[in-house]
Amino acid sequence: MTYQKGYMGGPAKHLNQLPCKGLTLWGDCVHVAPGFVQILHKMIIIRACLGNLETEPLWWTTWKGSVHMSPNIMKKKRFLGKTAIITGAGSGIGRATAIQMAREGANVALFDLVNERTSVLEQKLNKLRKDCALAIDVDTSDEKRMEEAVRRTVEHFGGLDIVFANAGINGAVGPIEELSLSDWERTMSVNLTGTFLTLKYSIPHLKEKGKGSIIITSSINGNSRFASFGWSPYSTTKAGQVAFAKMAALELAKFKIRVNVICPGAISTNIDESTEFNEEVETIVIPIEFPEGAQPLADGPGKPENVADLVSFLASDDAIHITGAQIIIDGAESLLS
């Protein structure tokens, strides 16, 4: 008999639970008789129409997931019973990470400024799994509100395991002498003070658990790239976040709390909405001739889901020996600029 090789992506122990005969397991791959894949897809559609995601067995989630998710997402349920705070969860990188973590079993507290995007995401995730998401209207640079938001999260979900300090703005962009003090302070307070407050109020709860994972979103700007003219406030905050993450990694290692910092290159999100260009910026630009194209690996900006994959890895026990790491995720963009 001829066999067709189909990628299943799920751990072998899940595949063992499939109510099907004639499967030969070989690593992450399974060999199935021709025609079986089509029957299986029909089964998936019928089962999906029946709904009730909450009570479905794990083998079904794995199979159904294979239709909608990338293989690396569907592999595991790494966050069952865990709670994550995700700041800036209403859009872009934070949103993609919230979706991925929730799909992998996490309860997610969605911290963002009040907006419809965040409450729509909360509803979407709660449909995926009942009561797994809680949207909290909070400005991460506001100490009182941050303290209260973390307290509400812990009360609601019963603890805290993962913190993704991700909220950020591009802020004011222009020549240094044209920037006002309030331009400067706003970027500092959202990107840097917001990160500090997120950690300050989360750490006691992670300590209580006896372990935890913190991931901070910095950028290639201010770290491996300095040619974004006029972006001095933003780049300064992004360099500051790396120093802060490394200091925190050492301070918290003895409590088994890992702290890592990621440095994305251009990612397709809504971040441009938070950019305030001063037209004088043109006067300080040094023309640079780039090779043709954008990011060598993707020939364009990355996707928020690419970053979510990295954050989920760092948040999980797969990264149990990784702390204090600064990881660039930019498709080699910063090697060119």
Instruction: Tell me the window of 30-38, 122-130, 133-141, 250-258 that interacts with ligand NAD (CB under 6 A).
Output: 133-141
DSSP β-bridge partners for residue 119: none
Residue with tokens 């300050």: 200
Query: Does 171 help bind ligand NAD (rule: CB under 6 A)?
Result: no
Pattern of binders to ligand NAD over 185-224, x per CB under 6 A? -----x---x----------------------x-x-----
User: Looking at beta carbons only, is 187 or 213 nearer to ligand NAD?
Assistant: 187
Among 166, 187, 198, 312, binds ligand NAD (CB under 6 A): 166
What is the per-residue DSSP string for 117-142?
A: HHHHHHHHHHHHSTT-EEEEE--TT-
> Residue 220 burial by CB count (10 A; 0-12/13-18/19+): exposed, middle or buried?
buried
Query: Does 242 help bind ligand NAD (rule: CB under 6 A)?
Result: no
What CA–CA distance (Å, rounded) separates 62 from 9? 8
What CA–CA distance (Å, rounded) separates 146 from 296? 39
What residues between 266 and 295 interact with ligand NAD by CB under 6 A?
266-267, 269-271, 274
How many chain residues touch ligand NAD (CB under 6 A)?
28
Query: Does 168 help bind ligand NAD (rule: CB under 6 A)?
Result: yes
**Which structure tokens are listed for 299?**
């020939």
What CA–CA distance (Å, rounded) separates 248 from 225? 24
* Annotation says 234 is catalytic: yes
What CA–CA distance (Å, rounded) separates 183 from 203? 30
Query: Does 65 help bind ligand NAD (rule: CB under 6 A)?
Result: no
> Shortest Cβ distance from residue 41 to ligand NAD (Å)?
34
Residue 17: CB atoms within 10 A of its CB come to 12
Query: Does 232 help bind ligand NAD (rule: CB under 6 A)?
Result: no
Residue with tokens 């129409």: 49
> Residue 177 burial by CB count (10 A; 0-12/13-18/19+): exposed, middle or buried?
exposed
**124 closest CA partner among 155, 153, 90:** 90
> Residue 302 burial by CB count (10 A; 0-12/13-18/19+): exposed, middle or buried?
buried
What CA–CA distance (Å, rounded) separates 17 from 218? 42
User: Looking at beta carbons only, is 153 or 269 nearer to ligand NAD?
Assistant: 269
User: Looking at beta carbons only, is 61 or 274 nearer to ligand NAD?
Assistant: 274
> Shortest Cβ distance from residue 160 to ligand NAD (Å)?
18
Instruction: Tell me the window of 34-42, 163-171, 206-214, 222-230 that interacts with ligand NAD (CB under 6 A).
Output: 163-171
User: Looking at beta carbons only, is 66 or 193 nearer to ligand NAD?
Assistant: 193
Instruction: Tell me the window of 3-11, 165-173, 200-208, 289-297 that interacts with ligand NAD (CB under 6 A).
Output: 165-173
Among 62, 97, 140, 187, binds ligand NAD (CB under 6 A): 140
Query: Does 101 help bind ligand NAD (rule: CB under 6 A)?
Result: no
**308 closest CA partner among 97, 70, 78:** 97
Residue with tokens 């070989």: 26
Catalytic residues: 234
User: Where do contacts with ligand NAD occur on this chain (CB under 6 A)?
Assistant: 87-88, 90-94, 111-113, 139-141, 166-169, 190, 194, 217, 219, 264, 266-267, 269-271, 274
